[in-house]
Structure 1
Amino acid sequence: MLASLYLFLYLLWKSLSLLLLLLSVTCSFGTYDTCQLLKQFPLVSMQRDGDLIIGGLFEVHLITVFPELTFRAEPDQPWCYQFYLDGFKTAQAMAFTIDEINKNPNLLPNITLGYRLYDNCIKLGVALRAAMALISGTETSFSDLSCSGTPPLLAIVGDSTSTHSIAMSSVLDLFRMPMVSYFATCSCLSDKQRYPFFFRTIPSDAFQVRAMMQILKHFGWTWVGLIVSNDDYGLNAAQSFHQDISVFGGCVAFYEILPKDNDMKEIRRIINVIQTSTSRVIVVYSNEAYLLPLMDEVLRLNVTRQWIASEAWSLSPVFLTPSMLPVLRGTLGIAVRRGEIVGLQEFLLSLRPDSDPGNVMVIKFWEDMFQCRFNPVKAQTEMNGRVCSGNEDLTTSLEYSDVSELRGSYNVYKAVYALAYALHDLLHCVPGKGPFSGGSCASLHNLQPWQLLHYLHGVNFTTAYGDQVSFDENGDALAIYDIVSWTGVSGGAMKGREVGVVDESQPAGKVLRLDDEKIVWNFENNRPPHSVCSEPCPPGTRKATKKGLPVCCFDCIPCADGEISTDASECLKCPEDLWSNPQKDRCVPKEVEFLSYEDALGISLSTASLFGACACAGVLAVFAHHRQTPVVRANNSELSFLILMSLKLCFLCALLFIGQPRLWTCQLRHAVFGISFVLCVSSILVKTMVVVAVFKASRPEGQGAMKWFGAPQQRGTVLILTAFQVVICAVWLSTASPAPHKNTQSSKIVFECAVGSMAGFATLLGYIGLLAAVSFLLAFLARNLPDTFNEAKFITFSMLIFCAVWIAFIPAYVSSPGKYADAVEIFAILASSFGLLISIFAPKCYIILLHPERNTKKALMGRTPAKN
């Protein structure tokens, strides 16, 4: 379609170039003493002279008939019929506005504006003929042989359709003539590289699409169908719609183009798409001609949807009928801004053909209104039994005198005033400060249309109705639309009632003003429909797009721990010191965790630790009190006291693991733990060695064994073995000392002691394990000694418990999170300490306290008489 249009424009340009060449030849080299106009078109027009002329193109007739071409004679001119009252009223709005400007002493003083208005008959061919008439004028000849002089007009107000405006702008740009449209909305006309002289007082389709997005966003409609007409208006709107709908998270459920030829097979296919789609909202960019067959089929099948109408049909009387009420009631539409023009009604009612006999447009209107023919010579003529005198009362036509819905006329009003203000600024230019070369200004006596362009870009005024008018860098006016809702009225028909406005001149957040209570819905409970592909994800989940479907169709996936989401496409990770709440919709401060004296676990472990220390102290007191008895003195009582003291330290060192870690507690806990257990285990090891040595010394061949296990040797051995552990701790603390660490990787902030060097920690534990293993091995080998020396059995059992506890400690410690790792280590300390205390010292305390008769040397030597 566009290729055909460009071809037509190219041929037209070539024809115009040839016409201008012929005119030049006629003027310069002809035998005539005047310049002759080669062709004059019979057009419906009205005009008024003035110092400066503004042209206008309007839809006064709806149908154009082009005669058949025979190629044997000059073709007849096309003719128009079926008078269009709204188009005529729009043209009269321009005439009224110019009269109003001429009466305004503050705007263009001492300058009278004139106009030339032509009917385009809603056909591009007729519109181009009218444009040529405006450019070249209607005079048949010029006596000035140079063909120079003031241009016939400065600018054109029109055209009403995008296709006409595209074609005529390409032609008018050749003559550098501004064109201000009042109804052409195609966003393609905003391209200043292609249409530098085009302006408009109606927002472009790009703005209309943005206004449509405001409505969809307001009601939460993210899953919408799109139907457009197969022309520049529909296709360009569809392109903008696809680009903008994703901005607020919406998607196009289906996209259909209405056929040009009203193909019913294609119409039924589109209806089937509408019925099978889950979308309940359909946006339509089209005019009546394309849309009527589809709506007839919608009515026949009673397809109920929420229709969103573009400005091209949002107030179309074709659809505001009783028959369409069942399916179109509740339609929301974007409508051209309605305005009020004070005095226009009186002006319309004052139109009489006898006051201006040369006004063809008014005469045509009069003839159509009263079905008569006006004869300016006789002042009245009888036709079909009726007389048209020119004095008939126009107020009898309510439609004609109704000025309550001025939309196109209001845009014409703004367009004429925009040109007037531009001319006003142009004529008040200060020489030396003008916008042209050398700071010059335009001259009224030689004013060129292109000189108006600079001032049109600077126009900024407010109408009497309160709307601001200005043009952006693309020649587009400030976007403002009325929102209408179709509701039933008396008689069964429908009416588009204003329920809001979209005004992009307002600050963000106030662009859309909508009164929801005024809207009528064609659904149950008179409530708006619900149109989404997937329900919004609840807090704490994220969207996962379904494969092969638009982004509006998704599954909801729960966020991981530590992440939040509020209907977002991705989950957001909480900051380091925060964690997600159970609903995962906000981040909350993490709970601080460490093994405290205040919680139940800390209380239990500290109680057990203190109890163990007290038990050691009690045993130590018993042994001290009975230190002269055989049970205490046997096997070196000094080692027994040393074991009890080291076990008491083992119990007390567990308290260093409770409470918030500090640097000194982290350094002390493992050092004290390691040294205390080595002192205890090394004492047990020496005690076991003494048991074995005593047994060997009791035999003849082992008389000299005890000389190697005297008291000094025993103390030295314990000291050396313990000193080695002290060296390990010193190296560890000096190279990679344990330190407090705030672990934020989990749902809680865990205060713990980092070991610093895992090798140092492993060496410390390994050395304790080595001593315990050697002690266990020696005790196990000496377990079968005579009963007199049965302490080896108790040591074996104690070492078995000790080794089992610490072997189980390693995997339990590694797998325990947070404070439970410290709890596991404390439990291992306490369990092994209690194991040693009970296994080694419980039997001795039993004899000392409960059976003192067995605490004798004879009883220990096995010489006590057996009881009967």
Structure 2
Amino acid sequence: MWCFLLCCVLWFPGLLCTLPAATHQPLHEYSDGDVIIGGLFPIHLQPNHTFPSSRHVSCNEYHFQQFLAAQMMIFAIKRVNQRRALPDVTLGYDVYDTCGDVSLAMRMALNMSIDQLDPQCGLLPGRKPSSAPDPRVKAVIGEGSSEVSIAVARILTLSSIAQISYAATSELLSKKAKFPTFLRTVNSDVLQTKAMAELVKTFNWWTVGIVGSDDEYGKYGSDGLEDQFNAMDNVCVDFKFILPAHLDLSGSKAQKQLTELMDTIGNSTAEAIILFTRESNVKLVLEAAIQMNLNRTWIASDTWSNSSDIKELPGIEAIGPFFGIAFKSHIVEGFADYVSSMVEEKSSNPLWEYHKLNHPPCQSAPQEKLNCSLTASQCMETRCLVHYIFWDLSLNIYLAVEVIVNALSSLMKCDGEKCQRNTSFTAYELLNEIKNVNLTVNDTHIVFDDNGDPMLGYDIVAWNSPSSGTIGEYLPGGKINLPPSLVATMANVTFTAFNCSKTCPVGQELKKNGMKCCKHCIVCSDGYVSSEIGTQNCTKCKEGMPLFGIAFTLCVSCVLANLLQIFVCFTFSQNMGGWLRKVNQPPAVVAILFGVQLVLCSIWLACFPPSLQREPHKKAFELKCDPTSKALFGAVLSYVALLAVVSFLFAFKGKKLPDLYKNASFVTIGMLLVLVVWIIFIPVYLFGDGVYTEAIKAAAVLVSSHSMLCCHLVPKCYIMVFRKELNDEKAITDYIRNHFEQKGINVLKS
């Protein structure tokens, strides 16, 4: 089928002949060499077909920055020849202006691949003799847009010609089953959408709007963005609007679509609007936004984030700050001088003459204003033209040339002085070498993965904001680097410009209130609670949260068992010493005392389980635990109090023991505090009512816990850390013996 298509196209020589001279004739620049590298650039942005015949094509909307991008390819090839990177081999070029048009680009791709077609096709017609040299294109650089690159890739795949794009980012081109010869020196949109999502997350934007277009770039990019945001918890896509691939306002339908988009943006609560479409569409959208004074935060995709045409739109500073994802940018040494030399040698440079023919007339300006602050149209005749170079695209084009040269050097086995193999190789052989390239150019490392994609990262740019220019970067691993002060400022925003909440006070949560993405704070529903400032969601109240009695009993039981052990150790009363020694079993004491409380609490929870009560108080409400059975609740507290009293008595009795065990005095104080606190708390809690009841309960638990912690454990920790010589079995034994000998009691030595 493809052979038939090629034959049909090639049968009419007029389709491939040089186009007649015209004011806006597409550029075609050719230079002979041993190996020819093709180039496809959208130097014009819109074709103008003359019907019924399509032989005569002219183009509108000359884009002189794309003209400079084409010059970067020519400059890079000339530099390779000058430095003799490929000894005895000269590189040539065959550069075409595609006018951003698919059909025109396909013709040019066919023209470059004629000699590489499979001779077994058998259907190629004979061609008339021509004085022009036969094309010997072995690789092609371009095109810039994804839509055109996809069409070109289908043609070049037939001849196994490597295609290296410098700006086509659609993820569709990563599918090697469809585009096996396509590679690029720019990241796939998969990485760009991840970078945008990370930027939105870092800047604490919760609602976004997406504007895409009905082409490979805008469709896959906007869908990828939506998928990224849907996978994030705190980001809501307020709207997604798809424009035509080429927004032409000459038609009523396009005017209606643009008006509808402006209404959508104007009524949206999106904190940031992402424009993921081609530059020509963006220009029309922002011109309409300026006219309607729509002040928003705008996020630029890589197609227009560094566009001087967009930055110079009159009134653009009034519609809000711009942040963008941009290709990594480095100045290619020598190219600025090369462009300046084109200006100085304009009388003898055919490319400069072409630029003059296609560039709009310069605006007159006083001599003192001929400086680099002029607009692009005023700058044509001055050296400041170099300030309008797309350095990001220029670097990508330069990388593409260096990749091809590196692959050629490997394929022809060049060693700096000579090449062991001549240029009689196929485009397929060169393609395989290009796929395996691994090199570093100007601190940029490039290697292709299995999909023909590099991993280069992005620059984060900003304009019309306090921080302008390149403000950070996104690394391939997913990390984003931005000024900490800017990130902190964005993160501390608690309300959007549309009065949508981002945090809530205690007892409230964020809920959508009639609008798709805008959230407001509302009181938690019955059975739910939020206990921290800034909480976004209420959580369900847990059952049985009333069990402090069991935990407190366990703590007091351990203290009591310890005191009992000390008391027995120093008691030699004939009347009571015997039975005390029998109960001196700490594990058993703790288990029994704890078991009694466990039985009480189990009966309480089984027969009269506590319930959650909600009591309104003005704009908020109080959640409290109703014990249901005050008798059982009192029994639990009384049992704790009983253990505390017994512990107090043992501690008070043991305060006269030797100094080594002086912690009995501290425990006495601790138990006294526990008793006082609970004696005061019980009547207040059982018979009191009010918003502070739960606070009193919490205070009682905290004071009791800390009193036991400090009075019982701190002295022991002091001995273990600062008096280690006392924390020894022999030292303790000697201490006890001395104590009894002082009282006239003989102690047998073992």
Q: Provide the TM-score with structure 2 as the length reference.
A: 0.62
* Alignment check: 8 A CA contact 2:295 2:320 kept: no
- 1:112 pairs, out of 86, 90, 105, with 90
Give how far 1:313 is off. Answer: 2.5
Give how far 1:458 is off. Answer: 2.2
* Alignment check: 8 A CA contact 2:110 2:155 kept: no
Which amino acid in the other structure matches residue 448 of structure 2?
F
- 1:332 pairs, out of 323, 331, 341, with 323
Question: 1:428 matched to which residue of 2?
Answer: 413
* Alignment check: 8 A CA contact 2:47 2:59 kept: yes
* Alignment check: 8 A CA contact 1:61 1:81 kept: yes
1:467 aligns with 2:451: no
* Alignment check: 8 A CA contact 2:35 2:423 kept: no
Give how far 1:186 is off. Answer: 1.4
1:100 aligns with 2:79: yes
- 1:56 pairs, out of 39, 61, 65, with 39
1:11-50 correspondence to structure 2 within 5 Å:
14-18=4-8, 39-42=16-19, 44-50=27-33
Question: 2:355 matched to which residue of 1?
Answer: 365
1:593 aligns with 2:565: no
Give how far 1:216 is off. Answer: 0.9
Give how far 1:97 is off. Answer: 0.7
Question: 2:241 matched to which residue of 1?
Answer: 256
Question: 1:409 matched to which residue of 2?
Answer: 394
CA distance in 2, matches of 1:825, 1:255: 68
* Alignment check: 8 A CA contact 1:564 1:571 kept: no
Q: Describe the shift of the 1:299–1:363 C-alpha distance in structure 2 as closer, same or farther (beyond 3 A).
A: closer
SS, match of residue 64 in structure 1: strand
Question: 2:333 matched to which residue of 1?
Answer: 342
CA distance in 2, matches of 1:825, 1:591: 13
* Alignment check: 8 A CA contact 2:317 2:464 kept: no
1:663 aligns with 2:588: yes
Give how far 1:67 is off. Answer: 1.7
Give how far 1:258 is off. Answer: 2.8
Deviations 1:593-639 (A, max 9, x none): 34848999xx9xxxxxxxxxxxxxxxxxxxxxxxxxxxxxxxxxxxx
Deviations 1:480-509 (A, max 9, x none): 2222222389xxxxx9622222232xx55x
Give how far 1:545 is off. Answer: 8.1
- 1:499 pairs, out of 437, 462, 471, with 471
Give how far 1:412 is off. Answer: 0.6
Measured on the aligned residues, the alpha-carbon RMSD in Å equals 5.4
- 2:502 pairs, out of 529, 535, 540, with 535
Deviations 1:75-113 (A, max 9, x none): 6421335543212211111111112222335x4333322
Give how far 1:529 is off. Answer: 5.9
Give how far 1:56 is off. Answer: 0.5
Question: 2:675 matched to which residue of 1?
Answer: none
Which amino acid in the other structure matches residue 553 of structure 2?
E
CA distance in 2, matches of 1:180, 1:538: 55
1:246 aligns with 2:268: no
Identity %: 24
Q: Describe the shift of the 1:537–1:169 C-alpha distance in structure 2 as closer, same or farther (beyond 3 A).
A: farther
Give how far 1:460 is off. Answer: 2.1
SS, match of residue 399 in structure 2: helix
> How many residues of Structure 1 are paired with residues of Structure 2 in the alignment?
558
Question: 2:154 matched to which residue of 1?
Answer: 170
Q: Describe the shift of the 1:445–1:172 C-alpha distance in structure 2 as closer, same or farther (beyond 3 A).
A: same
- 2:428 pairs, out of 437, 446, 450, with 450
CA distance in 2, matches of 1:75, 1:404: 33
Question: 1:136 matched to which residue of 2?
Answer: 114
Question: 2:139 matched to which residue of 1?
Answer: 155
Q: Provide the TM-score with structure 1 as the length reference.
A: 0.54
Give how far 1:820 is off. Answer: 4.7
Stretches of structure 1 that go unaligned for 5 or more consecutive residues are 1-9, 24-35, 144-148, 373-393, 431-440, 490-494, 581-587, 604-651, 670-739, 742-749, 759-810, 828-868
Q: Describe the shift of the 1:152–1:306 C-alpha distance in structure 2 as closer, same or farther (beyond 3 A).
A: same
* Alignment check: 8 A CA contact 1:545 1:555 kept: no
Question: 1:799 matched to which residue of 2?
Answer: none
Q: Describe the shift of the 1:76–1:189 C-alpha distance in structure 2 as closer, same or farther (beyond 3 A).
A: closer
CA distance in 2, matches of 1:213, 1:442: 50
CA distance in 1, matches of 2:454, 2:63: 27
Question: 1:89 matched to which residue of 2?
Answer: 68
- 1:484 pairs, out of 450, 461, 470, with 461
Q: Describe the shift of the 1:275–1:237 C-alpha distance in structure 2 as closer, same or farther (beyond 3 A).
A: same
Which amino acid in the other structure matches residue 87 of structure 1?
Q
- 1:308 pairs, out of 299, 306, 309, with 299
CA distance in 1, matches of 2:338, 2:195: 34
Q: Describe the shift of the 1:52–1:518 C-alpha distance in structure 2 as closer, same or farther (beyond 3 A).
A: farther
Which amino acid in the other structure matches residue 470 of structure 1?
V
Q: Describe the shift of the 1:573–1:53 C-alpha distance in structure 2 as closer, same or farther (beyond 3 A).
A: farther
Stretches of structure 2 that go unaligned for 5 or more consecutive residues are 20-25, 117-125, 363-378, 564-578, 604-628, 646-750
SS, match of residue 446 in structure 1: coil
Give how far 1:443 is off. Answer: 6.0
SS, match of residue 39 in structure 2: strand
Deviations 1:780-833 (A, max 9, x none): xxxxxxxxxxxxxxxxxxxxxxxxxxxxxxx88866685655769999xxxxxx
CA distance in 2, matches of 1:543, 1:81: 52
Give how far 1:515 is off. Answer: 3.1
Question: 2:483 matched to which residue of 1?
Answer: 515
CA distance in 2, matches of 1:232, 1:214: 23
* Alignment check: 8 A CA contact 1:51 1:114 kept: yes
Q: Describe the shift of the 1:448–1:328 C-alpha distance in structure 2 as closer, same or farther (beyond 3 A).
A: farther
Question: 1:864 matched to which residue of 2?
Answer: none
Q: Describe the shift of the 1:553–1:98 C-alpha distance in structure 2 as closer, same or farther (beyond 3 A).
A: farther
* Alignment check: 8 A CA contact 2:36 2:135 kept: no
SS, match of residue 319 in structure 1: helix
Deviations 1:306-346 (A, max 9, x none): 11121222233443236323533421122232221111122
Question: 1:391 matched to which residue of 2?
Answer: none
* Alignment check: 8 A CA contact 2:46 2:60 kept: yes
- 1:230 pairs, out of 214, 222, 242, with 214
Deviations 1:555-605 (A, max 9, x none): 78599799999958796999xxxx99xxxxxxx9x96434848999xx9xx
Q: Describe the shift of the 1:303–1:173 C-alpha distance in structure 2 as closer, same or farther (beyond 3 A).
A: same
CA distance in 2, matches of 1:150, 1:552: 66
Larger radius of gyration: 1
SS, match of residue 391 in structure 2: coil
1:723-742 correspondence to structure 2 within 5 Å:
none
Q: Describe the shift of the 1:592–1:480 C-alpha distance in structure 2 as closer, same or farther (beyond 3 A).
A: same
* Alignment check: 8 A CA contact 1:41 1:129 kept: no
CA distance in 1, matches of 2:212, 2:502: 27
Q: Describe the shift of the 1:151–1:814 C-alpha distance in structure 2 as closer, same or farther (beyond 3 A).
A: farther
SS, match of residue 154 in structure 1: strand
CA distance in 2, matches of 1:423, 1:556: 70
SS, match of residue 143 in structure 2: coil
Give how far 1:39 is off. Answer: 4.5
Which amino acid in the other structure matches residue 419 of structure 1?
I
CA distance in 2, matches of 1:116, 1:417: 17
Which amino acid in the other structure matches residue 222 of structure 2?
A
Deviations 1:236-293 (A, max 9, x none): 1111001112344212012222354543333333333323322222111123432344
CA distance in 2, matches of 1:660, 1:238: 74
CA distance in 1, matches of 2:437, 2:320: 41
* Alignment check: 8 A CA contact 2:206 2:271 kept: no
Which amino acid in the other structure matches residue 91 of structure 1?
A
CA distance in 2, matches of 1:214, 1:591: 46
Q: Describe the shift of the 1:426–1:219 C-alpha distance in structure 2 as closer, same or farther (beyond 3 A).
A: same
